[in-house]
Amino acid sequence: MRKFGGGFTLIEVLVAMAITAVIAVLAYVSLSTVIVGVDSVRAEAEKINTMNRAFQIFSRDIRQVVDRPILDEFGGMESGLEGGPLARQMLALTRAGWHNSVDLPRSTLQRVAYYLEEDRLIRASWSVLDRSGSSEPREVTLLKGVESFDLLFLDEISALRINRDIDLDRRLWLENWLADVSQPNATIKLPAALIIRLEISDWGEIERLYVLPPL
């Protein structure tokens, strides 16, 4: 008897194509999930790096603070450090250590300020200490998605107490650090410590305690 060569039927070909398509879809879904996971991890890492950089800048400025009052663009006196909801900026201070690698005719002291603009935490800096009407700040966005920016100030370091639960006792802390506005050109000394509290979307509340260098 004559033998005919074997081959695939149409049903077998369709089944093979269906299996291949299912495997391809599963592979695509798995690869897509991995890519999305990597992108999510990368985005979170970038957020963490940005937040850490912002607090590093906070730390650098606060740890180099000096009690050098300045004149603002309206001729008014501002203390070496002042802040709170009643202040012009949420936090403003004079810091040392402004490097002058090209030997420009300027001081190594610098006036900086922090404040919220919509949901952005801004750091402003001026090229001169005692400003004029033409003095414009250089503004840099440190963080986005900031819902609130609050400060607390402590007058004396001896008042810094921690209870058994490692929670700071805030009864002696002040929300504003300002000179007596009833006294012309009055200034206030540097606080002993301050707390910075940021409310960041997707992160919640982040708080840092800074003890200022002794005078």
**Burial class of 169 by CB neighbour count within 10 A (0 to 12, 13 to 18, 19+):** exposed
* Residue 29 backbone phi and psi in degrees, to 5: -60, -45
Query: Quick one: pLDDT at residue 147?
Result: 95
Contact 105, 201 (CB under 8 A): no
Query: Quick one: pLDDT at residue 6?
Result: 58
pLDDT digit of tens for each residue in the chain (215 aa)? 455 455 667 777 777 788 888 888 888 777 777 777 666 667 777 888 888 999 999 999 999 999 999 999 888 899 999 999 999 999 999 999 887 766 666 678 999 999 999 999 999 999 889 988 788 999 999 999 999 999 999 998 776 666 655 456 677 899 999 998 888 888 999 999 999 999 998 888 999 999 988 76
Question: Which residues are CB-contacts of 75 (< 8 A; sequence separation ≥ 6)?
Answer: none
Contact 115, 149 (CB under 8 A): yes
Q: What is the pTM of this model?
A: 0.76
Query: Quick one: pLDDT at residue 167?
Result: 55
Query: Quick one: pLDDT at residue 194?
Result: 93
Query: Quick one: pLDDT at residue 215?
Result: 64
C-alpha–C-alpha distance, residues 97 and 125, integer Å: 13
Task: Tell me the residue ranges of DSSP E strands in 5-109.
Answer: 70-71, 77-78, 81-83, 91-95
From the CB of residue 1, how many other CB atoms can be counted at a distance below 10 Å?
Answer: 3
Query: Quick one: pLDDT at residue 124?
Result: 96
Query: Quick one: pLDDT at residue 35?
Result: 74
